[in-house]
Chain A
Amino acid sequence: MIEVPLYDIAHSRAGDKGNRANISLIPYNPALYPYLAEQVTEARVLALFAHRGATTCKRYDLPLLHAFNFVVDDVLEGGVNASLNLDGHGKTQSFRLLALTVQIPEALASTKT
């Protein structure tokens, strides 16, 4: 097993509704899906956004699409109408998730697109 940032093996997009963000996580190689399911937990994703006051994180699993949808509450500092952040919509947050690291088999580490 080797440790890699999610960015090396997966892609992501973030969207907003009020003070709630949804952040998808999609491995390039479907074989990586179970490793992400085990390691990219709701607790780890919530901790990534603790400094912004996020309160809850819910992960929805889509095994047929080999994708996850994280819904994080109270992460957008009040949402686009109230936030002082340049990115009130939180569109850039997908790349904060992609900086998280996971352990994967070395044989699966070369799937970068």
Chain B
Amino acid sequence: MSSDTFLVGNGAGFSGDRVDAPIPVVRTLIKRGLPAALFFEVLGERTVALAQLERRANPELGYEPMLERLLAPVLADCFKHRIPILGNFGAANPPAAARCIARLALRLGLPNLRIAVVAGDDVMDSIALDQLPVHEADDSIDISRARLIAANAYIGAEPLVAALKAGADVVVAGRTSDPALAIAPLVHHFGWSLEDWEKLAIGATCGHLLECGSQVTGGVFWDPGRKDIPNPENIGFPIAEVTRDGGLVITKAEDTGGLVDLRTIKEQLLYELHDPSYYITPDVVLDITACTLEQVGVDRVAVRGLKGRPAPETLKVTASFEGSWLGEGEVSVAGPNALARAKATADVLHARLKLRGLPVRARVDLIGVASVHDSDDGALWRAYQGPEPSDIRIRLAAEGATRDDVDQAAREVLALLCCGTAGTGGARWRVTPRILTRSYLVLRERVPTSITTRTAAEIIQ
């Protein structure tokens, strides 16, 4: 391997990922002895809005809740071996995330750890949404009445590169595009131009393949007896080897489970892609229609033939609004005549909501007969002709404008403990607020970004 190879490791693919995953990744990066970076992607579409609600309740929260657990085992090693860490783990509160990391650094005896905070993605106060073209919307949003929770632009690699140039050991961002977290260290290391579309296409593909962590190394791939993987309890997270001229090989952390082969790469390459000739990121428009793959070793796949087009003039802004309320309740039936009891229970629940005149939209699932593949009217379980299931969970979901309405609906499930069919048990119910999102397009010059880089000691003093 030439010294012109850079390694990009991924330590998390979503908020909620396995917190011990980064350890073998960092161990492998160090063992390989090549220049490297580690990134964490923990922001789903609604995660920033949930984080913003946390921040409202407590100004020191609103960043990735597992941040300290994720970084504590690897921060000192990464600092020692000059492996920068990038992450959108700042969520709705990057400055507070930086303080969390600084406190951790001081505990680990790393007062000189340099932490960069990227600002600019939060456009809630700087951009009037009602003057922007709508990109994607939840149909049900009445924009004039909905209360805005958060509005964040998906920013590209540029400020992340600037942070690395400023010597940051950890780059704390809020909303970035996922691929930017991998593009930035490559651009910084190789000195690629931010207008070298072919190179940025390779960086974007690297980011796209790695951004969901284990999904490219066996996670949501393994299927017992059909697509088996070694040690699914310890799937190794992915590492990309990228060369200056744009070679890209996907592999994974050593001494772990999971696997990397043509099948895992293909599944992740197409994941959440629409037109394969036009995958839009803030840094480049990616075209994978000429992409070819080759297994070049055990758990090693080379990715070639990627094409890039100029970056779009606009950035996507996702805004989140307070939505309605969701009430859910569940009970179980099992044993003889379970299907008939479950179907009758479903009918009774619908009848009860009608009887009480609750203004909710409701659905009943018969889990064990048909649920996740079904429609709101239960078309699949009503038509079910298969063998009699012996254990069925009945689930009511009700959406309404007020907390009380959906709570009352969900409590109708609870009432079945006494009023339900023979042998009804195991009731659970809960009420949660819903968030609505809408995406807009904004000219990128309207989203200025900035970075602030300070040492852990400076942040905490």
Residues of A within 8 A of B (CB): 7, 11-13, 15-20, 22, 24, 26, 28, 51-53, 60, 62, 64-65, 67, 69, 71, 77-82, 84-87, 91-93, 96, 112-113
B136 within 8 A of A: yes
Alpha-carbon distance A101/B395, docked complex (angstroms): 30
User: Could you say which of B45, B271, B291, B380 contacts A65, with CB atoms under 8 Å apart?
Assistant: B291
A15 touches B272 (CB 8 A): yes
B376 within 8 A of A: yes
Number of interface residues of B (CB under 8 A): 55
A7 cross-chain contacts in B, Cβ below 8 A:
226
Alpha-carbon distance A93/B371, docked complex (angstroms): 11
B270 within 8 A of A: yes
A20-B274, A64-B291, A85-B372 are contacts. A11–B435 as well, Cβ < 8 Å? Answer: no
B273 touches A82 (CB 8 A): no
A22-B273, A64-B290 are contacts. A81–B138 as well, Cβ < 8 Å? Answer: yes
Closest Cβ–Cβ distance, residue B366 to chain A (whole Å) = 12
A67 touches B376 (CB 8 A): no
B326 cross-chain contacts in A, Cβ below 8 A:
84
Chain A's closest residue to B330 (CB) is A86
> Which A-B residue pairs are the 7 nearest by beta carbons?
A15-B272, A24-B270, A84-B397, A87-B372, A84-B363, A13-B267, A51-B379
A81-B437, A92-B372 are contacts. A64–B323 as well, Cβ < 8 Å? Answer: no
User: Could you say which of A13, A82, A112 contacts B220, with CB atoms under 8 Å apart?
Assistant: A13
B373 within 8 A of A: yes
Residues of B within 8 A of A (CB): 45-46, 136-140, 220-221, 223, 226-227, 263, 266-277, 288-293, 305, 323, 326, 361-363, 365, 367, 371-376, 379-380, 395, 397-399, 434-437
A60 touches B276 (CB 8 A): yes
Most chain B CB neighbours (cut-off 10 Å) among A16, A67, A79: A79
Alpha-carbon distance A85/B364, docked complex (angstroms): 9
Chain A's closest residue to B399 (CB) is A84
Interface CB pairs A-B, < 8 A, 5: A65-B269, A82-B434, A85-B372, A86-B365, A86-B367
Alpha-carbon distance A77/B263, docked complex (angstroms): 30
Closest Cβ–Cβ distance, residue B201 to chain A (whole Å) = 16
Alpha-carbon distance A22/B270, docked complex (angstroms): 8
A65 touches B266 (CB 8 A): yes
A93 cross-chain contacts in B, Cβ below 8 A:
373
